[in-house]
Amino acid sequence: MRAEPLDIDIVAALREHQARRAQYRDQQLTHLSTICHYIDVFMEPERFGNDEPNPLIFNKGFLWEDVLSTAFASQWGNLQVELEWPASTKPRIVGTVDGLSLVKRRIKEYKNTKMSSRTPIVSNRYKHWHRRTMGYCYMASCRFGRPYLQAEYVVMHVNGHYEKGGGRFGDEEAMAHLVTFGEIEMQENWDSIITAYEEMQEKGLVK
């Protein structure tokens, strides 16, 4: 038996794949995640601002999202949905949700993380998730004219709750949560998103 390396630039291929995911989107639109990442870096620079995002890590999360979106679509009719902030208003923002229930008025989000499954989902460790999800809820509320105040999270904790110790982490653990947001905190969250967008626009970071 013998093995030899293949001449494949995996990182470049993943970047190209992500570019194709957005190729049909109006290039004048700014994705909500871009604005939220800007806020993340400002709020926690040591956690989010040191390096360029690793596409290998991001695509592990995208894979989990795509698999669950497809699987749940066959069972419950869930599909990834793009929500666009009304074109007649400024700024032009778009958000991609992993699932949307018009009946329950809920956003669905599928997450993949190294964080411990013992960390409460309402912990500030997940603030960057909730910032985006509340943004999606706000956009859905405006789009459909009814309040969307809840989100269903299905989370894959790849290291469980680090129960094995000794550098062995833990077993994968999937957990599901229903999170309910307050109308005031959702409005305050959206206000912070718009403020960040305007600041990014002044710096020439968005159109």
Supply the mean pLDDT for the chain: 82
For the stretch 84-140, pLDDT in tens is 876 556 678 999 888 888 889 999 888 888 888 899 999 999 999 999 999 999 999
Could you tell me which residue, 5 or 117, shows the higher pLDDT? Answer: 117
Beta strands in 98-143 (DSSP E): 99-101, 106-113
Name the DSSP letter for residue 53. Answer: -
What is the pLDDT, as a whole number, of residue 205? 87
| The pLDDT of residue 197 is above 90 | yes
What is the pLDDT, as a whole number, of residue 18? 66
Cα 165 vs. chain centroid, distance in angstroms?
Answer: 29
**Which is it for the CA torsion 150, 181, 91, 31, positive or negative?**
negative
What is the pLDDT, as a whole number, of residue 172? 83
| The pLDDT of residue 195 is above 90 | yes
Could you tell me which residue, 165 or 171, shows the higher pLDDT? Answer: 171
Beta strands in the chain (DSSP E): 30-31, 81-84, 93-97, 99-101, 106-113, 150-157, 173-180
| Alpha carbon distance 175, 158 (integer Å) | 11
Sort residue 160 into left (φ over 0), alpha (ψ -120 to 50) or beta.
left
C-beta separation of 69 from 79 below 8 A:
yes
What is the pLDDT, as a whole number, of residue 66? 67
| The pLDDT of residue 80 is above 60 | yes
| Alpha carbon distance 187, 185 (integer Å) | 5
Tokens of 108: 């669905």
| The pLDDT of residue 70 is above 70 | no
Calculate ∠ Cα 108-113-118, nearest 5°: 95
Question: Cis (ω within 30 of 0) for the bond into 91?
Answer: yes
Q: Kindly give the interhelix angle for 127-144 and 32-43, rounded to the nearest 10 degrees.
A: 150
For the stretch 42-65, pLDDT in tens is 998 888 876 666 666 666 666 666
| Alpha carbon distance 160, 170 (integer Å) | 5
pTM of the model: 0.81
Tokens of 201: 């626009």
What is the pLDDT, as a whole number, of residue 206? 84
Model confidence band, residue 78 (pLDDT cutoffs 50, 70, 90)? low
At 192 the three-state DSSP class reads helix
Model confidence band, residue 39 (pLDDT cutoffs 50, 70, 90)? very high
Say what percent of the chain tops pLDDT 70. 74
